[in-house]
Amino acid sequence: MPKRPNAPEAGPKSIPLSLSESRLFGDPSQDSEPAQLPVPTPKLPKPIPTDTQTLYIELLERLKGMEFDRTFGSLPGSFSRKSKGGKENWYFRTSEGARGREEFYVGPDNEKTRKLIDEHQTSRTESMEITADINRMASMLIIGGCASVDHASAKVINALAASGLFRLGGVLVGTHAYVAMGNMLGVRWQSASRTQDIDLASFRSLEIVVPPMDTGVWGTLEALNMGFLPTPGLDPRSPSTSYAIRGQKLRVDLLTTASRTGPFSPVFIPRFNASALPMPYMDYLLEGNVDGIVINGGATLVKIPDPARFGFHKLIVSEERPIIEHAKATKDRAQASEVLNHLLRTRPGDLELAYDRLEAKGLHKRVAKIIRQHLSQEQGIVAFLDRRSKA
């Protein structure tokens, strides 16, 4: 922590403390409450045309259908015949992809296996046609006003999705979720929505039964050949929960739920074969999630948080940030403001349900304080808060 500068010598003038210094050390020249960060100006999102919203729904259904019907036909690769122990067998070897090269045993060299291989070519042709159609639909959505993400982030998110991360309870959070959320709600946000931080979160364990499978986050990132490396944390003895490319801003962070009392050291998530950083109040955000689409030339099916919970959680996160991240805190509040204001006009019931959970978890008073302190100019949100406080 930086030391407070020595007091200036006696004289007619003194050097005033900066905002950061006054928050860290206190400014004796100020008798009132410390200065607050500017209240973000309320912004109205730009509506996406109705026909584009209809196309989005159609694309979502197509992606969900593809996810359900995954077969060899959707995997790039080729068959090969090998001799072993005097017997001929067929194998399928995948091309370089999210999990690197993998080889699967198909069966012995007989009529049944050769028929399966012939059917694969037909299935693969159909899969390629579906993929091309999805790419066309994604391009039409962008032309129609939907927001897209940068190419590098889309490539990483698509690889993680292909590895099964979202089927195993992973949820896309942060600004990339905010972008996907706008497309889902039929609007284009006006607040800052560009980032190369890919934030992924999940519960420590799954309470639902899923097919026996797992994914390797580090292996998936490494197989992309983009130069990802584990990023050491503050304690070099702790496992990494972040991955980055040297000299670039692209970064992947893994997060998970935390108890109120800690500890907040990295937790190993077996189904991801990776460690994640526990974050306070993450359970509130992850309790409700929905299907979303990440768009960039193509389209990737992901899980994103419930928008109302996302908005309230962003307000809490903004207060958790250290003073050196005040710009990110302002961005958090701006995104929360835009989401909450939009839902207040279009889906007020969602806010009611999300606020019910805040009350159940004892977080509503904290959120109310943040709103009154930083969003006091937003009459709609304040009126909602006043009504809930009197209920």
10-residue stretch averages of pLDDT, the chain, 391 residues long = 44 39 39 46 83 96 76 66 84 64 78 79 74 94 95 95 90 96 96 85 72 72 93 81 93 90 82 92 93 94 97 94 90 94 96 96 94 92 92 70
Q: Look at residue 212 in the predicted model and tell me its pLDDT.
A: 45
Q: How many CA atoms lie within 13 A of 237 on its CB side?
A: 1
Bond preceding residue 49 cis, omega within 30 of 0: no
Q: How many residues does the chain have?
A: 391
Pairwise CA distance, residues 301 & 307, whole Å: 17
Structural domain span for residue 76: 72-138
Residues 267 and 202 placed together within one structural domain of the fold: yes
Question: How is residue 387 annotated by DSSP?
Answer: H
Q: Look at residue 263 in the predicted model and tell me its pLDDT.
A: 66
Buried b (16+ CB within 10 A) or exposed e, 182-201: bbbbbbbbebebebbbbbbb
Pairwise CA distance, residues 119 & 122, whole Å: 5
Residues 188 and 273 placed together within one structural domain of the fold: yes
Pairwise CA distance, residues 276 & 200, whole Å: 9
Q: Look at residue 230 in the predicted model and tell me its pLDDT.
A: 94
Q: Look at residue 344 in the predicted model and tell me its pLDDT.
A: 96
Q: Look at residue 334 in the predicted model and tell me its pLDDT.
A: 93
Residue 19 domain flag: no
Question: What letter represents residue 93's amino acid?
Answer: R
Residue 321 domain flag: yes
Q: Look at residue 79 in the predicted model and tell me its pLDDT.
A: 83
Residues 192 and 255 placed together within one structural domain of the fold: yes
What tokens appear for 253 in the block? 């962070």
| Chain Cα centroid distance, residue 283 | 14
**112 close to 104: Cβ distance less than 8 angstroms:** no
Residue 379 domain flag: yes
Residue 3 domain flag: no
Angle in degrees, 0-180, between the axes of helices 326-346 and 307-320, rounded to the nearest 10: 160
Residue 236 domain flag: yes
The count of structural domains within the chain is 3
Residues 129 and 155 placed together within one structural domain of the fold: no
Residues 249 and 383 placed together within one structural domain of the fold: no
Residues 211 and 287 placed together within one structural domain of the fold: yes
**66 close to 130: Cβ distance less than 8 angstroms:** yes
Q: Which of 138, 162, 182 is the last residue of a domain?
A: 138
Residues 169 and 234 placed together within one structural domain of the fold: yes
**Token pair 């296996």 in the structure block, residue:** 113
CA torsion sign for 300, 303, 308, 311 is negative
Which one, of 317, 327, 389, lies nearest residue 40 by Cα?
327
Residues 88 and 214 placed together within one structural domain of the fold: no
Residues 161 and 298 placed together within one structural domain of the fold: yes
Q: Look at residue 108 in the predicted model and tell me its pLDDT.
A: 87
- Determine the 3-state secondary structure of 187 from DSSP: strand
- Determine the 3-state secondary structure of 242 from DSSP: strand
Residues 288 and 356 placed together within one structural domain of the fold: no
Q: Look at residue 117 in the predicted model and tell me its pLDDT.
A: 79
- The dihedral over CA atoms of 107, 110, 113, 116, expressed in degrees to the nearest 10, equals 180
Which one, of 316, 378, 388, lies nearest residue 355 by Cα?
388
Q: Dmax of the chain from CA atoms?
A: 98
Query: Under 8 Å CB-to-CB from 36, ≥6 apart: which residues?
Result: 373, 374
- The CA–CA distances, whole Å, from 345 to 21, 280, 337, 338, 351 equal 40, 29, 12, 11, 10
Residue 310 domain flag: yes
Pairwise CA distance, residues 389 & 345, whole Å: 20
Helices of type H across the chain? 19-25, 50-68, 111-143, 151-162, 175-185, 217-223, 282-286, 307-320, 326-346, 348-360, 364-374, 379-390
Residue 55 domain flag: no
pTM over 0.85: no
Residue 360 domain flag: yes
